[in-house]
Structure 1
């Protein structure tokens, strides 16, 4: 997401996935549809239906710079893009406002902090998003883990932020050979990330807002492949977010997978779905809300998330990234997942009125496009 500039779509390769049994999916769907077990702390006092957006605070691109004070009221979670490491394995995360040479209308640090406080006083959450397209983060050592905790905490404290968004992309997360159980990960970069986030949650307490924005490659592709897999030849990054999501699910406020810049992904119907259509978002979200067997192993199921922990990630405009979805199609997605109507070619395994909402890359691109994305969300949920 995290695209500073749109990327060409990722092409996935591989053989067929194992088919989950009807009984397994029925059980997972029932659990998801009736889920209410996530801790109150994980919900972090969000509105019943929330709109999440990324704000290009540290860099410039064709969308233009949007000052924090000018972020429209529609946005409930504002993710500052991006905190980036001093080097891939240092764990030392830095964040600074866009240089005035690139963003002539950038506000001062004091104005930025005051605007954050004003947004929070209005009930909004403001988070630091770590990673992005350029910010590769690999916490391969305990020293890097500890530096991550220290440096992210320093950013949160400096700007008075509400929490953290993990937007690790590219090669940040990858499974070592032999690391085959998402419930018991062994890869140091993954184990250390989980530990670091738990430390930050412990430091800031129940009000700490934790969100994640993985790509489909790191989550839903796990239905077919998990890491290199027992048959070899797969990308070791396949499904690599699953152990992180699973280990932190009791602390997780919101997961918004990037349903864009993606190749075709196989859904629970064992058909491939292509980005940009209502069916793609419905199928990808159904996997999160119904649960799915990892790498086709029906004895190793990624459990369903609570619908209040799930939002759907989309590009805010055709300029923002591959896979833009027209507002009318977004409405079909919400109707299908929350009302079991307007479902088209994919029938989900449940209905989830408590689905939290939508995420967009980005607030800047939506402003550039006349606010179409936010306006459609507000119209659907009554403002």
Structure 2
């Protein structure tokens, strides 16, 4: 089914955006006298002690994180489904605020601390995920307000096991946390000549995990996956994982062994094969939504990567297929489509199959669906000649299992595999977000992340300031987050609409894109924000779509494409 792409348009206020800049702090060990000061923390007594705006909240029996009930809150119109509770606390005390969430965009925070109010959040998540941060009360603070909320126009979120763990404020509450059980399901999800990727199942009550290599602790993680780098080729390593929370650390999990590939092997490289140093990506529409209809052969040569939009979900969890919309594309046949892909490749271009889009429903939520995804994408690569895959899941992804899926695909396809991503701006605001986690997890085989700098409203830059979309500052200050967050410059691209018709908001003229590229690569043509260093290896730019570009006389690719390829 044709999916008119684009995109969620959330009206982010500066105050909300600033609240999101408060990163989750490392939780300090709690004392024996600490308690959970939240009442009805697991919603076992319905909404008792909780107040939800506009009747947005209810309790459900499934899904639940523990016990028999959980909160379900549904945003509607201008209501973000906020649920609050006044929690008694002691002055001059430190507390750990945490909750388990699932579903749509989920936020957790506290106000009235008397010091610095804090919050944390996560994009859509298909499985339970723990949010956690800490706060300190002021000298006269005896009560704070804890809140959860979703986001306007997004799916319902679920919350369970809310905790304000610390000194007893005298208001009653639930028992203090206990040491979690050892994690289960530890597996090796991928290897290269210098790294091993691990994943495991969530441990109930855990706020974090420690990873051990050959009996020595080597890293910590907040999620259920980690990649160990700097390893020697053709070497076996033994790994274990523990779960942690305020009460302490669990016993070690069962051990698994991972063996790195030989120095000449491995399934990836992330260099993009024969891609130029600076590359332009364009989405090609496999449907007619008013933009100019094209064949692959019609796409201008200024596009180095062509992302075919989109694959379709099947009835098999995680599996995808592709159905050429021949009728909508004026009788374009499958044989012509395949031949045009080969011709583009002969000209040095890459053609990938894009998964997702605004209405895409592909879900990778367990090992079986991860395997189905890898197998089905590889089958499409063999059938149509695609060079790789683009991940454009705008309804959330699971970092653990998407990582498994892409590493399994890499093992099948080899080092020439192209992997691109097109997250929304909110998905790349923090390294703890699932999209950002996935990109970092597969950094050794990732080609480029082309973040969509549109349909987003105001967002935070890497300097903690709020910038409005549609400006050089918005592009440069937000790209800076990825450049400082662990991606290499060659894995960062700027995604923009090709015309005002291509997106609900955020269109900028091609000259603004060029200025942002100059600012990031050479430090000139910047706005008020200027990065602390330059990134000459920045990969380039992306647009939605080649069709909308063609509708505007290819003004975007003629200008931006030429500028990208002229970068030193």
- State TM-score, norm by structure 1: 0.78
1:49 aligns with 2:312: no
Q: Is 1:374 matched up with 2:557?
A: yes
Unaligned runs of 5+ in 1: 21-38, 174-188, 227-238, 292-302
* Secondary structure of 2:271 counterpart: helix
1:212 aligns with 2:421: yes
Match of 1:81 among 267, 292, 309: 309
In the alignment, the residues of structure 2 paired with residue 140 and residue 8 of structure 1 have an alpha-carbon distance, to the nearest angstrom, of 23
Aligned residue runs from structure 1 range 234-253, under 5 A = 239-253=433-447
* Equivalences for residues 1-383 of structure 1 within 5 A: 4-7=4-7, 9-12=9-12, 13=16, 15=19, 17-18=21-22, 41-57=270-286, 59-86=287-314, 90-100=317-327, 102-103=328-329, 105-170=330-395, 172-173=396-397, 189-220=398-429, 222=430, 226=432, 239-291=433-485, 303=486, 305-321=487-503, 322-381=505-564
Paired residue for 1:28? none
CA distance in 1, matches of 2:402, 2:8: 28
Structure 2 Cα separation of the partners of residues 147 and 122 of structure 1: 32
- Matches of 1:130 and 1:116 in 2, distance apart? 18
**Does structure 2 conserve the Cα–Cα contact (< 8 Å) formed by 1:282 and 1:346?**
yes
User: What RMSD over aligned residues (CA atoms) do the two structures have, in Å?
Assistant: 2.1
Determine if contact 2:272/2:417 at 8 Å carries over to the other structure.
no
Distance between the aligned counterparts of 2:303 and 2:331, measured in 1?
20
What is the rounded CA distance, in whole Å, between the counterparts of 1:193 and 1:40 in structure 2? 18
Partner residue, 2:141? none
SS of match in other structure, 2:352: strand
**Structure 1 or 2: more strand by fraction:** 2
- Number of matched pairs: 317
Q: CA deviation at 1:133?
A: 1.0
Give 1:153 deviation, angstroms: 1.3
Is the 1:140–1:192 contact (alpha carbons within 8 Å) kept by the matching residues of 2?
yes
Whole-angstrom CA distance in 2 between matches of 1:5 and 1:341:
33
**1:242: how far off?**
1.8
SS in 2 for 1:80: strand
| Deviations 1:194-227 (CA, angstroms, capped at 9, x unpaired) | 111001101111111111111111111x27xx5x
For each residue in 1:269-309, what CA deviation from the matched residue of structure 2 results, as whole angstroms up to 9, or x when unmatched? 22111111111001111111122xxxxxxxxxxx2x21111
1:310-351 deviation digits (Å, cap 9, x = unpaired): 111111111111200112211211121111012121111210
* CA pair 381-151 structure 1, distance change in 2 beyond 3 A: closer
SS of the residue 1:241 aligns to: helix
The structure whose residues are more often helix, as a share, is 1
Determine helix, strand or coil for the equivalent of 1:152: helix
3-state SS of paired residue (2:501): coil
Q: CA deviation at 1:19?
A: 8.0
The alpha carbon displacement at 1:3 in A equals: 6.9
Task: Out of 242-251 and 40-49, give the one that drifted further.
Answer: 40-49
Distance 2:529 2:377 in 1: 41
Distance 1:195 1:19, change over 3 A: closer
144 and 376 in structure 1: CA distance in 2 versus 1, 3 angstrom threshold:
same
CA distance in 2, matches of 1:45, 1:83: 25
**Structure 2 vs 1, CA of residues 5 and 191 (structure 1 numbering), >3 Å: closer, same or farther?**
closer
Name the CA distance, whole Å, in 1 between partners of 2:394 and 2:269.
29
What's the secondary structure of 1:260's corresponding residue? Answer: coil
SS in 2 for 1:127: strand
Aligned residue for 1:51, secondary structure, equals strand
